[in-house]
């Protein structure tokens, strides 16, 4: 699937010129040293304004973008940001909160402040989003460098790339003192299909390089043990209007374990392949439910549904034997806590789209009336005791 889609993207790029054209040499992009030029006339000319501090530059840049953003389809809103980041090392420590608040860019920074990744939707990709990317880092000698590409391009030789969103960035320190960064990247391939993977990198001298941290055989595409292609809209509706987007590729700092989502037929299951860092590499250590679930409910085949009502958080899982399990908490209680109620051996009626559970004379029905339209109905001795519908909070 991804080979066909990639070929389609290449043809689209060649015809429209809409993709990022990131030149690479061998397997390494040549870095550009970020430095404020002695003669700032060229920089100020490219920006269309002068400035004395990085904060002033951001304010003027936002004002400029506000005046022209969206006036024509092919406008690339971050040429000026690229010029600013490419020439002023103060940008590495500036939060760009104004630009992020306006939606002009998203910025992700490592916890040690040495690696910063920028990404933005160029508006040119349609349902196959074309992201613009910048990678900025501080080398051991204190100089700041910049790659005008995505972090995934550090290990590829393709001229035309998708670009990627950055959904996570974790710092890993090896026993020998080396510092690595796990970058959770996401690429949109079409309206309801995308892929994510972990790209491990390290700062080596004046370069940002790919780091082979996973003890797994490659399949010719990145780190095969972390690559996952999935239908994200399905996961969105299954997990309370996207609450589950915060779960895939979680990194447990306490155990130095990376949770990589299990995907079957392009469907997330909410089970995970675990890779634990042994001080040198990540070693596969088994499968489990997420550590953000209470240990008593981590064994199941796949998540069927999660939603919240006015008073409750409700979770339905399919078990290995094909039956279903019901678990519920008070609405504002985390799934890390023990559930208030757990009922096993439930059944599903496809015609009515209803999961049914029996417990001490009470019948708990979870009815799926549509996407994000689930409801809980509790019946006792033939009388309805409770009915609460799904509530989506912004």
- pLDDT tens-digit profile of 147-184? 999 998 886 655 556 689 999 999 999 999 999 999 99
Q: Name the percent of the chain lying above pLDDT 70.
A: 86
| CB hemisphere CA count around 76 (13 angstroms) | 16
Res 27: pLDDT: 47
pLDDT score of 70: 59
- The answer to whether the beta carbons of residues 230 and 266 sit under 8 Å apart is yes
Asked whether the predicted pLDDT for residue 37 surpasses 60, the reply is yes
SS3 for 298? Answer: coil
Of 3-17, 145-159, 241-255, 281-295, where does mean pLDDT reach its minimum? 3-17
CB 36 within 8 A of CB 89: yes
The rounded percent of the chain whose pLDDT value lies above 90 is 72
Average pLDDT, rounded, for the chain:
88
Strands of 383-389's sheet, edge to edge?
302-308, 312-318, 324-330, 341-349, 354-359, 362-368, 374-380, 383-389
pLDDT at residue 20, rounded to an integer: 44
Phi then psi for 250, rounded to 5 degrees? Answer: -85, 145
Report the alpha-carbon distance of residue 54 to residue 56 in Å, rounded. Answer: 5
Q: At residue 329, does pLDDT exceed 60?
A: yes
pLDDT at 115 over 80: yes
Tell me the CA distances in angstroms from 163 to 74, 100, 210, 211, one per residue in order. 17, 18, 17, 20
What pLDDT score was predicted for residue 158? 53
Report d(CA 154, CA 130) in Å as an integer.
18
pLDDT digits (tens, 9 = 90+) for 50-94: 999 999 999 999 998 888 765 544 445 688 899 999 999 999 999
Beta-carbon-side half-sphere exposure of residue 262 (alpha carbons within 13 Å): 16
Measured CA to CA in angstroms, residue 224 lies from 68, 105, 221, 288, 339 at distances of 42, 29, 6, 19, 35
pLDDT at res. 218: 46
- 171 secondary structure, DSSP code: E
User: What's the rounded mean pLDDT across residues 279-289?
Assistant: 95
Q: Is 100 helix (H, G, I), strand (E, B) or coil?
A: helix
Name the range with the highest mean pLDDT among 73-77, 180-184, 208-212, 213-217.
180-184
- pLDDT computed for residue 65 by the predictor: 86
Element (H, E) at 95: none
pLDDT at 308: 96
Task: For residue 28, name the pLDDT band (cuts at 50, 70, 90).
Answer: low
193, 229 Cβ separation under 8 angstroms? yes
* Element of type H or E holding 200: strand 193-204
- Within 280-375, residue ranges assigned H as helices are none
Distance CA 392, CA 308 (A): 7
Q: Rounded mean pLDDT of 342-360? A: 97
- C-alpha to C-alpha distance for 252 and 347, rounded to whole angstroms: 34
CA distance 209 to 147: 11
Structure tokens at 222: 């990145």
What pLDDT does residue 12 have?
A: 40
User: Are 49 and 84 spatial neighbours (Cβ–Cβ below 8 Å)?
Assistant: no
Q: Cα–Cα distance between 72 and 107 in angstroms, integer? A: 25
Taking the C-alpha atoms of residue 149 and residue 117, their distance in angstroms, rounded to an integer, is 10
How many CB atoms are located within 10 Å of the residue 86 CB? 18
335 closest CA partner among 285, 377, 289? 289
Range with lowest mean pLDDT among 155-159, 175-179, 294-298, 357-361: 155-159
Q: Average the pLDDT over each of 74-83, 186-195, 301-310 and give the range with the smallest value.
A: 74-83
From the list 170, 208, 164, 209, the residue with the least C-alpha distance to 189 is 164
* Residue 301 tokens, joined: 């085949």
């Amino acid at each position: 699937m991804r080979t066909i889609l990639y070929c389609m993207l290449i043809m689209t790029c060649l015809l429209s010129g809409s993709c990022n054209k990131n030149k690479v040499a061998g397997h390494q992009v040549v870095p550009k040293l970020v430095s404020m030029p002695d003669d700032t006339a060229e920089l100020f000319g490219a920006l269309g304004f002068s400035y004395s501090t990085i904060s002033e530059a951001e304010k003027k840049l936002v004002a400029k973008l506000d005046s022209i953003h969206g006036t024509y389809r092919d406008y690339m809103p971050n040429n000026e940001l690229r010029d600013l980041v490419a020439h002023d090392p103060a940008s590495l420590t500036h939060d760009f909160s104004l630009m992020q608040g306006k939606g002009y860019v998203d910025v992700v920074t490592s916890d040690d402040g040495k690696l910063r990744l920028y990404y933005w939707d160029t508006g040119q990709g349609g349902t196959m989003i074309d992201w613009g990317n910048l990678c900025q880092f501080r080398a051991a000698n204190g100089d700041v460098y910049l790659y005008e590409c995505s972090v995934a391009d550090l290990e590829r030789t393709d001229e035309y790339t998708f670009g990627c969103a950055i959904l996570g960035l974790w710092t890993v320190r090896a026993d020998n003192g080396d510092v690595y960064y796990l970058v959770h990247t996401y690429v949109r391939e079409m309206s309801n299909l995308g892929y994510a993977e972990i790209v491990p990198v390290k700062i080596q001298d004046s370069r940002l390089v790919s780091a082979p941290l996973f003890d797994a055989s490659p399949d010719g595409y990145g780190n095969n043990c972390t690559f996952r292609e999935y239908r994200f809209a399905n996961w969105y509706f299954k997990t309370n209007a996207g609450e589950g987007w915060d779960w895939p590729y979680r990194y447990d700092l306490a155990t130095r374990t990376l949770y990589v989502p299990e995907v079957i037929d392009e469907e997330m299951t909410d089970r995970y392949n675990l890779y634990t860092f042994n001080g040198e590499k990540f070693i596969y250590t088994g499968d489990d439910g997420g550590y953000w679930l209470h240990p008593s409910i981590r064994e199941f085949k796949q998540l069927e549904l999660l939603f919240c009502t006015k008073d409750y958080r409700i979770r339905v899982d399919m078990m290995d034997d094909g039956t279903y399990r019901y678990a519920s908490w008070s609405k504002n209680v985390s799934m890390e806590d023990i559930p208030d109620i757990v009922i096993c051996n439930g059944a599903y009626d496809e015609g009515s789209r209803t999961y049914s559970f029996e417990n001490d004379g009470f019948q708990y029905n979870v009815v799926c009336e549509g996407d994000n339209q689930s409801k809980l109905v509790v019946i006792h001795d033939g009388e309805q005791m409770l009915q609460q519908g799904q509530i989506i909070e912004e």
